[in-house]
Amino acid sequence: MARDIRLTLIGKPGCHLCDDARDVVQGVIAEIETTDASRRMLLEELSILDDEALRDRYAEEIPVLLIDDEVHNYWRIDPVRLKAALLA
């Protein structure tokens, strides 16, 4: 039985790279869920404008994508690499 995978996208409003990253992440999630119903991925979005600790840590790296609280990538999210990580 597959476990739930928690994805966290850290960015801020008005960030075009953040919008691109969201589109890539949502596309990969949709693709995986269509072919493997046993995998459940939960996407949460956080803004560095709402959290001082996130702003201090990631302000120069957004968007940042975490998979189960571990940094997967930042700036540009590669869909092939993300899919491989989520299926591993």
Task: Please write the tens of the pLDDT for every residue from 56-88.
Answer: 999 999 999 999 999 999 999 999 999 999 988
Q: Is pLDDT above 60 for 1?
A: no
- 31 CB-near residues (< 8 Å, 6+ apart): 83
Task: Please write the tens of the pLDDT for every residue from 38-59.
Answer: 778 999 999 999 999 999 999 9
What pLDDT does 36 receive?
A: 75
pTM for the predicted model, two decimal places: 0.91
What does DSSP assign to residue 16? H
Give the torsion sign (CA, 65, 71, 73, 74): positive
